[in-house]
Structure formats: structure tokens, C-alpha cells
Structure 1
Amino acid sequence: MSTTTMKYAVTDSLMMLRRSMLHIARYPSMTLPLIIGPIVFLFLFVYVFGGTLGAGLDGSSGGRADYVNYVTPGILLLTVAGAATATAVSVATDMTQGIVARFRTMSIFRPSLLTGHVLGSVIQTLLSVAVVLGVAVAIGFRPNANPAEWLAAVGILTMLIFAITWVAVIMGLVSDTVETASNLPMLLMLLPFFGSGFVPTDSMPGWLAAIAENQPFTPVMETLRGLLMGTEMGNSPWIAMAWCAGITAAAFAGSVALLNREPGR
């Protein structure tokens, strides 16, 4: 990529990011569910199920105090998965309402149509995660991480957000309607449940534990617990980063290919 092309790529991407941020600011109804939904799950699992589930955690005294420390990383990833809906809907709206067709006729770095959505969604998701984390702290989540560990936790979360957001972009591109785009990301929200988000994987049947331990969300959650709570991480950080990098690369390539296809194909 030449210097001139790189300049246009950055300029156009920033322009599309500004468009995305203005859209987010004007339609807060798309952001509120990203925050309210995970907070409802947090209260549900801590105050309704926490007493029983906390008693089943290895190496703990049991109860809600231990369970809120265990479940918070899972809730944070549930927030990330839920944010994919807003991204998919935004992309599908652009594709179905003709704005992308108009951009195709302009001299613009075409992938910037997608990077604007992705960067805006990453910012929106990080803000949502921060709010949910604040609520978790208010009801008893007590991380013991130092500044470096907090920075690493934010880094791994950001990597996952990039990966999931690019997957959401694909969902928006392949959807014929906005309604379809709003439903497809629901599949992503199941991953924290079918992982170590709410109960340890060793409490599951063997076949389900194998699925839970070999999907992308589980190593991220184990890494977050290790960084924030000091639990054993093993190889989880490296596995988590490999998952995030692989998903991001594959989803980015797929998104660009779908965007460049001829209309109607």
C-alpha cells in the first residue's frame, strides 16, 4: 500500500468513525440494551443463583461474595457478545437502505465503510463494559489486580471485542433484512453460557466440557480471572490471543470480500 493510499485509508476511516459515533450519540436506544441486559444477568446470577452456585466453587467458602468474583468475567463477555447486535444492525441498515450503493460511486477507500463501524462499535462496547464492571464492583466484585494486570485485562478484552465486532460485520453483510441482522448475533451470546462463564467446566458432562474448553470465550474468561483475581491461568492467555487474532483476520478478510462483491450476487 502506497503512502498516498494509506493516507486516504486513514482519512476515510476516521470520517466513517465520526459518522458511526454521531449515529451512536443520536440513538442511545441502541446502547442502553447493551448495558441493561448484562446488568440484569449480573443481578440474576449473583442474587438469585449466587448462594447455591458459589457453594460449588472449588477452593472457596461459598456464597454470593465468592460467586460475584467468579461470574463477573463471564458477564463482561456477555456484554461483548451482546454488543455485536448493534454492529450487525448498523451494517445491515447501511446495506439495505442504499447508503453503501451511494458510497460505491464515490472515490473512497472502500474498507473504511466497515472500519468506521468497527472502531465505533469497539468504543461503544468498551464504554458498556466499563459501566457493567462498575456495577459489579458496587455489588461486591473485588479484583486485586495491579495496574499492569488491569492494562493486560483491557488489552485482551479489546482484542476479543475487535474479533467479535468483525464477526458481527459479516452477519450484517449477509443479512437480507435488519430483523435478520438483529437475530444472528444471539448465537454469540450463548458462548459464555457454554463455557466457563457461569460454572467451572469440570462440573459439566464430559462432552459438554470438551466443547466449553475448546471455544474462544473460555480462555478469555480464564485469562481475565487470572489477571483480575490472581487465579491460575496456565496457557489461557496465549490461547485467547491466538483465537482473537485468528478470528479477526478471517472475519476481516471475509467482510472485505462480501463488501466487494457485485450487488445482487
Structure 2
Amino acid sequence: MATDTLAPDTASTPAHTKPARIGLVPTLHHSLALAGRGATKFLRSPIQLVDVVLTPIISLLMFVYLFGKAISGGDPDAYLQWVVPGVMVMTVFQASIGIGVALTTDAATGIFDRFRSMPIARSAPLIGAVLADFIRYAVCLGTLIVLALVMGYRPDTTVPAALAALGLLIAFAMSFSWISVYLGMLVKTPGSVQGLMTILVLPLTFASSVFVKPEGMPGWLQAWSDVNPVSLMADTTRGLLGDGAVASPLTGSLAWMAGMVVVFLPLAMRAYRKNNG
């Protein structure tokens, strides 16, 4: 009796297919939808914004009333006009730490597994988280501006220039937040992200023109301050809110911002795919 050879039923066993690549427009749509989810979380739980409310208050009061007279040579009012734009940069830069901490916490809850099962762009959860942080930066700057005006700060500028300064500050924070996002995808605990970002933020902030003019620094430190992204953004903000130069520090700031996105966005996406592949 002949034995039939059974061929595999290829029709009933579909081959593994690679997921279709999602285009730019759908990716942006998915990212905005997830940004809305993140914004809703902030609105439903305002306690998450406590740090971006208290940080600018404490920083401005401390540096004006505690250190201002010593730094300014006895003229705290003049120092207030100088330091406010710098503190704006410092506080939004510090606020960018929060996104990495939040993403590390989210990863522990398994939310990324849920996102992976949904028909959305793989990059949308991270881009959406960065866009949602707009609320944190806006609250931070709003708090600082109100307090500065109460203390006597008076910007010498136009409304379009002031709005441009605020927009650039938020774009600066979002650009550098990709470092925090990358660390949030790379390390396992929120405390590690906060510690590593603090190690980065503090030297950049204090070795800059945020609190003192670079002319009084040692030569090597002044050379670093001249190219420090925090100094460049602080000088850009001062120029837009007063009568200082804008073109040169703005060019440097934009170069740093573009560099952060070009380098750390792909690294963050790679770490995200590796951990949630």
C-alpha cells in the first residue's frame, strides 16, 4: 500500500509578516493623541506639578534676596533684572528631568506593553510624552513670571519678542528632555534617572551666565560659559526681554537644541524598542 506524502498546508499557516511602517502624518496624529492623554493626567492630578511651581519660587527668592546683594555688589534691583531670564532657563532645564522619571515609572506598570499591542507608531509613546510636558514648562514659566513681576522685574521688550522668548524656552526644554527620555529607557529606577540628570544639569547651570556675568570668571571657565547651551539660551532670553544681542546666542542655542534631538531621540527610540521589542 502506497504511503501518501503530506505536504505542509501553507494556505492555513500564514507566514510571519513584518508590521507595516507607519508614515509621518499618522505618527504625528498618534503622538498628539498620547500627548492629550498625558495632559489629562496632569489636569486630573495637579499634585504632579508641585515641583515646577515650587522650584522657580524657591530659586528666584533665594538668588535675589539671599545671594543677590553679594553677587551684584549691593544692587539687588539691578541683579533682579539680570537674573530672571537666567532663572527661566535654569528652571525649565530642571523641569526636563521629570519626564525620564515618569517614563521609568510607567515602564514598571506595563503600560508600554499595552501601547505595543495597539496599532500605533512605535515612537508615539515617547514623542507624546515629550509633547505633554509642555504643560509642565508652561506652569513653571508662568509661576516664575508672576513672582518676578511682583518682585519688581520689568522686561523692556515687545509682546512678540516676549512670546518668542517663552516659545524658545519651552523648545529648549523639550529638546534637552530627550536626554532624560533616553535615560528613562536605559536605567531601571526613577531615582537613577533623577541622579544622573542632576549630575548633568547642575554643572551646566552653575558654569554659565545664569547667575553671574562671564567676565568675572577664570579664563578657562569663561571659554566654556561662552559655548555652554544654558548660557547661550540665557543670553538669548535676555536679548529678547531687554536690549541685548540676540542673533549670535540664538544661533548657538538652536544648534545645541538640534544636536540634542538628532543624537538623543534615536538613542531613546532604540532603547525603547530594545526594552519593549
> Is the counterpart of residue 41 in structure 1 residue 53 in structure 2?
no
Counterpart for residue 246 of structure 1: 259
- 1:49 and 1:7 map into 2 onto residues whose CA distance is 50
> Is the counterpart of residue 50 in structure 1 residue 63 in structure 2?
no
> Is the counterpart of residue 105 in structure 1 residue 117 in structure 2?
yes
Q: Alpha-carbon deviations, 1:3-44, whole Å to 9, x = none?
A: 973443233212211221122223323211112122111111
Partner SS state of residue 107, structure 1: coil
Q: Is the radius of gyration larger for structure 1 or structure 2?
A: 2
> Is the counterpart of residue 114 in structure 1 residue 126 in structure 2?
yes
Deviation at 1:241, TM superposition (A): 1.1
Counterpart for residue 169 of structure 1: 181
Structure 1 residues without counterparts, runs of 5 or longer: 56-61
Counterpart for residue 18 of structure 1: 36
TM-score by length of 2: 0.86
TM-score by length of 1: 0.89
* Alpha-carbon RMSD: 2.1
Q: Is the 8 A contact 1:42 1:75 kept in 2?
A: yes
Deviation at 1:252, TM superposition (A): 1.3
> Is the counterpart of residue 209 in structure 1 residue 222 in structure 2?
yes
Amino acid at match of 2:68: G
- 1:262 and 1:220 map into 2 onto residues whose CA distance is 34
- 1:3 and 1:141 map into 2 onto residues whose CA distance is 51
Amino acid at match of 1:34: V
- 2:163 and 2:65 map into 1 onto residues whose CA distance is 29
Amino acid at match of 2:220: W
- 1:16 and 1:111 map into 2 onto residues whose CA distance is 11
Amino acid at match of 1:26: R
Partner SS state of residue 192, structure 1: helix
Tell me which of 111, 127, 148 is aligned to 1:136. Answer: 148
Tell me which of 231, 234, 247 is aligned to 1:218. Answer: 231
Tell me which of 91, 102, 120 is aligned to 2:103. Answer: 91
Amino acid at match of 1:131: T
Number of residue pairs aligned between Structure 1 and Structure 2 = 257
Structure 2 residues without counterparts, runs of 5 or longer: 1-19
- 1:259 and 1:4 map into 2 onto residues whose CA distance is 17
Q: Is the 8 A contact 1:85 1:183 kept in 2?
A: no
Amino acid at match of 1:31: L
